[in-house]
Amino acid sequence: MALNFVLPSATAPATAVTASPATSARPAATATTSTSSQTATLGAVAAVAGLAMRKRNRSKISRNFSLQMPALPAMPFMVPPKKTVVITGASSGLGLAAAKALAEQGWQVVMACRDFQKAEKAAKEAGMDPENYQVMHCDLASKQSVRNFVQTFRTQYQSLDALVCNAAVYFPNAHKEGVFLPGLFPGGGPRWSAEGHEMSFAANYLGHFLLCNLLLEDLKKSAPRGTARCVILGTVTATVNGSELGGMIPPLAHVGNFEGLEQGMKAPVTMLDGGAFDGAKAYKDSKVCDVMLMKELHRRFHKETGIVFTSLYPGCIAETGLFREHYPVFQNLFPAFHKTVTKAYVSQEEAGKRLAAVVADDRYGTSGSYYSWEGEAGTGGGGGQDAVSNTDKDFDWFMNYGSFRTLSIDEIGGEAGDDQRCSGSVFLLARWDKDGSRVGERE
């Protein structure tokens, strides 16, 4: 802020030159000074007199001075703060598409990713505005990394409007020795987290369980504004409906009575039900637990805090990095099958907009809901019915009645529909892992 002032120039007082009495009374002998000295003296006196005359007659001149004042800080009522969302697994696929969609809506997107450089590159290639996103390192398969992420987040942000638990790993063939001949595309066996847990369980569920608990206080700060949401991704392959074909394809999700949790879920224990390792089933089991977690968080905290807890299935994203561990023939045929036969195919871009809607759209603010879409050419597809209205039972392409539809908390079925089992899973995990005590201590 520049302020201009006009000040008058200083006017020098006139200087009178008079003869000194001593000079006039000087003896005549001093008058014998040379002519050249007299001429120089008279010239100097004349110059002084002329300068004084010019100063006295000169008019006032305006002088401009610029005083730079410090800019005032922006006041809250002047610039509304951005809403902040944390999205796990935002370096590719659904997470990246949702991050881009929310950033374009003016949200501040915190991309919680295991590979920092990959996420930065992906965000730039997607054309995301650098002012609307920030990448932070977070490895969900490491509890210490999750804690570090939360600490870093809190040094830069005062509150949190939405948390999206999206990241997932999938090792469908990890339990297989190979196809056709042993050794051809071997599965490699179970992967292990930093703390020694089976990777699907650790990254898909345990890391998110801890993250939700640690960031619950941050979400509470936004709850009075009506913006706080926690969104946990589900999947059609671990049915919560009982009608979707995806949930009927073996191996079926089954967490049993959480025998694996009772045993600590460390090698050689790999499965939640304590059974033999199966890579595809481990993924499905972890997603069942994610929906259970959403339900239990809703039951325990929604009324008290106002935070909205939801889950969703955004449609069949047939082309995604989630299938990177699958056989190459599957990766090539799976998208074509859903594009031409089932019509269930959904692009990553459209799925990302659907996830963004569950985060930001007021219509998706019913806590405990499981929002579901079908494909682009089916129910809830592009130009079709949105998930918030997709509640009526109907026949899908496979003649399953009532599949691929949005469910209220009381309609969620399968193992995730068992309230006692949901509560038991959280209690066991809280007792088994002290980091979850904030949830487990409440019965």
Examine the residue annotation and report whether 283 is marked as an active-site residue of this protein: yes
Q: Comparing C-alpha atoms, which of 297, 357, 362, 199 is closest to residue 372?
A: 357
Amino acid sitting at position 379: T
Q: How many C-alpha atoms does 354 have within 13 Å on its Cβ side?
A: 32
Amino acid sitting at position 219: L
Are 91 and 113 a contacting pair, CB within 8 Å?
A: yes
CA dist., res. 111 & res. 137, Å (int): 8
CA dist., res. 29 & res. 183, Å (int): 131
DSSP of 298-333, one letter per residue?
Answer: HHHHHHHH--EEEEEE--B--SSGGGTTS-HHHHHH
CA dist., res. 327 & res. 172, Å (int): 9
Q: How many CB atoms lie within 10 A of CB 22?
A: 7
Catalytic option among 133, 283, 313, 345: 283
Q: Comparing C-alpha atoms, which of 433, 443, 296, 283 is closest to residue 272?
A: 283
DSSP designation for 248: G
Report residue 214: phi and psi, to 5°: -70, -35
First to last CA, the chain: 59
DSSP of 61-82, one letter per residue?
Answer: -EEEEEEEPPPPPPPTTTSPPP
CA dist., res. 209 & res. 415, Å (int): 18
Catalytic residues: 283
